[in-house]
Chain A
């Protein structure tokens, strides 16, 4: 079966623009996670969706970041008014009922 799919794989945008990153989890997985990976901060947890429960947003770095998960499947991570420090690889993962997380290959975001 297909793994976690993320799009786009690369995104270059100008400072101040909004960006949307998409994650298609593995079919049937109940939990979905977003992480950010940067040289300075390493791998950071951002947000987590479990079923129909309210998401755990504890890792979002600022109010410019938001995420939604429609119909318990596809998720989008939105960054508004991007800043250069938002440049990073954004990784999505999914899991079934608290089991091992399966990661996509990420979206490499570059803010000019």
Chain B
């Protein structure tokens, strides 16, 4: 079953603009992860934020986590055509080696 929802389901922006995607989840978590999936490929891990963290950066990525609202956001700054992909948030109940529960994803299209 799906842990929660990402919104928007689809997002189309111009190259160079920033893209923001949101994720909500239902259960308590140990950490939350974001993954990217290019068409026809597997998922690639982008960033992990722990439940005691509020914000984390990695290159052009910025993730926030609000455990009181059970929500997270992923910001991609200065978007590039290569960022075109689907983005998923994922959680695991125990946070360790458990199977992940994914949201439905946001399909991001970067217009050149």
Contact = CB atoms under 8 A, between A and B. Distances in A.
Contacts of A97: 97
Task: Please tell me the size bucket of the interface on B.
Answer: 20 to 34
Interface of B: 1-2, 33, 35, 40-45, 48, 88, 96-105
A16 to B, nearest CB: 27
A101 interface: yes
Main secondary structure of the interface of B (DSSP, over half): loop
Contacts, number: 54
Query: Which of B43, B96, B99, B103 has the largest number of chain A CB atoms within 10 A?
Result: B99
Does more than half of chain A's interface fall in helix, strand or loop, or is it mixed? strand
A20 interface: no
Interface in A33-84: 33, 35, 42-48, 50, 56, 58-59
